[in-house]
Chains A and B, each alone.
Chain A
Amino acid sequence: MKRYRVLFAAVLVLTTLLATSVSAEKKVVTYWSWSPVKQTTDKMVAAFEAEYPDITIKATIYNYPDYLLALKTAAASDSLPDLIGLEPGAMTQEYRDYLVPLQDAAVEMWGEDWQDQFYPIGLDQARLGNPAGDENFYMLPMELQTTNLWYNRQLFDKLGLEVPTTWDEFKEVAAALRKAGIAPLVQGGADGWQNIDVFMMIAQQTAPGVIYKAEDGEAPFNHPGLVEAMRYWQELFTEGIVQPGAMGMSVYPNAASLFNAGRGGMISLGSWHMQTAKSEPPVPLSQGMLGVGAFLFPDVDGDGQPTYPPLGGIDFGIGMTKKALGKPEVLAVLDSFITGSGIQAAIDDFNDLPAVKGIEPNTFTTDHERELWAMFVDDWLPKVTAPRQLKSPEVRQGLMDALAAVATGQKTPEKALDDLQNAVGK
């Protein structure tokens, strides 16, 4: 019996020692988000942990609706993780009281000139919705994006089509695609965000900047330029540019799948679509991005210019909760996920565009892939000034309703925007 007691005591001591040493060596940082997708986040975590073997990241990636729910619940029960994924504007502002201003940490990590290292649109949007006089950065951008149209190069080549540069050409290309039994512009209209993207691209030509002024109450939503944009939006449906049934289709997975399967000629997405180059299972059309090309929304106002500069901004950012105060390991993760090995892993996956300058994928499989990347980060992203996002969730929802009502023939463009003005106009 005595022998067993000695053995038990030895095991207990050993276990305690091991547990103590593990907890003493391994620091844990918790991170929740809805983006990047889990596969990419796992790669970011692996890259970080390879660099910092004494720190473990416990990352939880939710789908978007679940994430909203999880954040609210955790905030209410004071159990938020150390780091949280954030959208600029309403989401960041909602959790502002729980977040640590990050500008001092940024100086510490990246020096006094840290803001010069970021693309300007990312920093502009990071403070979207801050109260007047509050210059704090409650979130920092991790990845940026631009919005644009994509086309199927193989189909265009096969049908002898050129990338449309004007509205008339756009309609002609759509007609040719339709005639060939191909959905011209695949739209996942059940997801209002894609409808807003298309409308904003048009409105940026017919009434540059007016939608943002309308949101601030400095212009009406039924401004003639916006009404004109809404008429073009309506034409997308009445002229058969968008496939029938578009308003009943979600972007992901259905509309994107249709395009990826080569059954759609064009689709409105953005720089993030480059991630299909690394999708699992592979998307044949996107191998080396050889099957697809990106272009800007064609000229609709007759000035010969497409929607340039494109709209864009923060894809997603990161915030540090007050729970993480005094934990240097959390700052190490923040650094890695914004400027270091973490974001490099995401960019290697073509997840989207980096928020800081000078990061690019370590490998390109084709020249076309490299050219696309260069177009996004050198030609488009530095020029972006107009945000893709609207500040107010109410305005966003109201605009989604107006676009759906026009697309389904329930309202005229004028009536839809009059109603929007009455509902959310200031």
Chain B
Amino acid sequence: MKNHGEARGDAIRKIAGWKRRVELGGFIGPAVFLFALFVVYPIIYLVYGSFFSWSGVGTMEWIGWANYARLAGDWIFRLALRNEVLWALFTIFPQMFLGFILAVCLNRPLFGRNIYRAILYMPAVISPVVIGIIWQSIYDPYMGPLADFLRSVGLGSWVRAWLAEPQTALFAIIAVNVWKWTGWSMIMYLAGLQGIPEEVYEAATIDGVNVFQRVTKIMWPMCRGTTLTLILLGVIGTLQEFALVYVLTKGGPNHASELLTTHIFNEAFTLRNMGYASAISVVLLIIGVVMSMLQLRYTGSGKTARGVL
């Protein structure tokens, strides 16, 4: 049996515990509320909406799993999935390597390097709509500057209707995307390179390491964190990509450059199938979550994150 002093102590600790909980709740409460309102609720509503036939306004008709069953027979959906994979492969890695090479070049003392950095970074801050309009003109095989250039250097046979041919449309947009985001990758790698201690380079110089070895054995491995971040963000960016495709080709010709996002937009707003668009969005959400979890699990980013936390 506790004496009066111990009981009083317990009571004070209990009150202090409650006060602590209320205090912590006060700190995280607003964030949890906003998260629930702007993330959890829309996701729940999205999943809910995917079981209905509706246009986004007016009455909703419950149709169970029919929207998901429809996915199996939707060739545009399958094409968009394939395009997502191609987009990820041909966007993330080229833009990463190009960014790394540019960062290595511009990490050295060089006259006007800040200007070069700014110029290379500039496409990343230009609106994709503006970029799309400009590149549509550049790609114009009839009177576009790219075709004119190729003809002027005797490569007229290389001129193609890049955006107009189903075989090349997606890759033409991917090239624009790589152009847009390479400068951003460069900035990320520059930050990574500047985090490498000078002593490491000094020790390597004493050991007789040449420039190639310095890049491949020191810089590249020591930028691993940046690389993983770029891959993770690249995958998320791939799943979110919309504006560039929409402006350049609207997913055409004949859906050849369709991504899941443009397919969702078309179903939701052009064809007014909000229920089916919701079902595609749920699939997109699942892909995004699974990809992120796999990456965190297998690339070690998760350990880093937990370590930081």
Whether a CB of chain A sits under 8 angstroms from the CB of B255 is yes
Given the complex, which residues of A lie within 8 Å of B166, measured CB to CB? 408, 410
The answer to whether A94 and B143 touch across the interface, beta carbons within 8 angstroms, is: no
A-B contact count (CB 8 A): 110
Q: A80-91 vs B: 1/0 string, CB under 8 Å?
A: 000000000010
Interface size on B (CB < 8 Å)? 38
The answer to whether B161 and A94 touch across the interface, beta carbons within 8 angstroms, is: no
The answer to whether B164 and A68 touch across the interface, beta carbons within 8 angstroms, is: no
**Chain A, interface SS category:** helix
Using CB atoms, name the residue of chain B closest to A96: B58
Q: How far is the CB of A56 from chain B (nearest CB, A)?
A: 28
Indicate whether A254 sits within 8 Å of B57 (C-beta atoms), given known contacts A247-B161, A248-B169: no
Using CB atoms, name the residue of chain A closest to B246: A65
- Which residues in chain A, 186-215, are within 8 Å of chain B measured between CB atoms? 189-192
The answer to whether B269 and A69 touch across the interface, beta carbons within 8 angstroms, is: yes
Given the complex, which residues of A lie within 8 Å of B136, measured CB to CB? 190, 248-250, 254
Q: How far is the CB of B52 from chain A (nearest CB, A)?
A: 13
Given the complex, which residues of B lie within 8 Å of A397, measured CB to CB? 266, 270-271
CA A397 to CA B76, docked complex, whole Å:
12
Using CB atoms, name the residue of chain A closest to B165: A408
The answer to whether B164 and A401 touch across the interface, beta carbons within 8 angstroms, is: no
CA A408 to CA B253, docked complex, whole Å:
8
Q: A93-122 vs B: 1/0 string, CB under 8 Å?
A: 011011000000000000000000000000
The answer to whether B142 and A244 touch across the interface, beta carbons within 8 angstroms, is: yes
The answer to whether B137 and A76 touch across the interface, beta carbons within 8 angstroms, is: no
Given the complex, which residues of A lie within 8 Å of B56, measured CB to CB? 72, 75-76
CA A397 to CA B266, docked complex, whole Å:
9
Q: B145-177 vs A: 1/0 string, CB under 8 Å?
A: 000000000000000011111100100100000
Given the complex, which residues of B lie within 8 Å of A98, measured CB to CB? 57
- Which residues in chain B, 266-309, are within 8 Å of chain A measured between CB atoms? 266, 269-272, 274
- Which residues in chain B, 213-271, are within 8 Å of chain A measured between CB atoms? 246-250, 252-256, 265-266, 269-271
The answer to whether B254 and A393 touch across the interface, beta carbons within 8 angstroms, is: no
- Which residues in chain A, 231-250, are within 8 Å of chain B measured between CB atoms? 243-250
Using CB atoms, name the residue of chain B closest to A401: B254
- Which residues in chain B, 117-142, are within 8 Å of chain A measured between CB atoms? 133, 136-137, 139-142
Q: Interface on B for A, CB 8 Å cutoff?
A: 55-58, 133, 136-137, 139-144, 161-166, 169, 172, 246-250, 252-256, 265-266, 269-272, 274
8 smallest A-B Cβ distances: which pairs?
A248-B163, A248-B164, A245-B161, A247-B164, A404-B254, A245-B141, A75-B57, A247-B253
